[in-house]
Amino acid sequence: MKSLKILAILLTFSLGLPVQAQEEGTTTIYLIRHAEKDRSDKSNRNPHLTEKGNTRALKWAEVFKNVAFDAVYSTNYHRTKETAMPTLKQSNLKGLQMYDPRDLDIDTFLKENKGKTVLVVGHSNTTPYVTNDLLGKQFYKEIADTNNGNLYIVNISASGERSSQLLFIN
């Protein structure tokens, strides 16, 4: 059954079909890592995206074109904000919601986003762990610093049942 669900999502994204309406009260959270960052200055802790990264950010917006986001979250770094912006603009939302993964109260986050569909843009060392926190169990491991294509999707039903999917979008 899970394989069929993944196949349906892949077909939806690849064919540009409308995404099925989510079950009433379901919270859906999409989580990605920022796109390729400029690594030319090793001392720069807040680099911008490279040309390839900007292209990937636009591709993420294309992947999400049929998703009706209620909010887009980003850490306060150039690379995450630049990754999120094309999707934010496409969604006609007013602004990015900033979050700090080291100080994220998952219960408050879930309460504020109950029944909504949101995108969370983070980092290789935070995105899998935020996903785990949303699931309430340790399932995903840190990803390689060169992996910019993982898409985690967490669904939480109105009754609190939690499930996830991991896709790789290149």
| Residue extents of the structural domains in the chain | 22-168
CB contact burial 41-52 (16+ within 10 A = b; e otherwise): eeeeeebebbee
A 10 A CB-CB count for 132 gives: 18
User: Distance between CA atoms of 11 and 5, rounded to whole angstroms?
Assistant: 10
pLDDT string in tens for the chain (170-residue length): 444 344 445 444 444 434 444 567 999 999 999 999 999 999 999 999 999 999 999 999 999 999 999 999 999 999 999 999 999 999 999 999 999 999 999 999 999 999 999 999 999 999 999 999 999 999 999 999 999 999 999 999 999 999 999 999 98
Domain 22-168 has CATH 3.40.640.10: no
pTM of the full structure? 0.87
Strands (E), 2-159: 27-33, 71-74, 97-98, 117-122, 150-156
C-alpha 168, offset from chain centre: 12
Instruction: Identify which of 104, 126, 95, 119 has the alpha carbon closest to the alpha carbon of residue 27.
Output: 119
User: Distance between CA atoms of 113 and 149, rounded to whole angstroms?
Assistant: 24
Helix then strand then coil, % of the chain, to nearest 5? 35, 20, 45
Q: Supply 50's token pair.
A: 């490279």
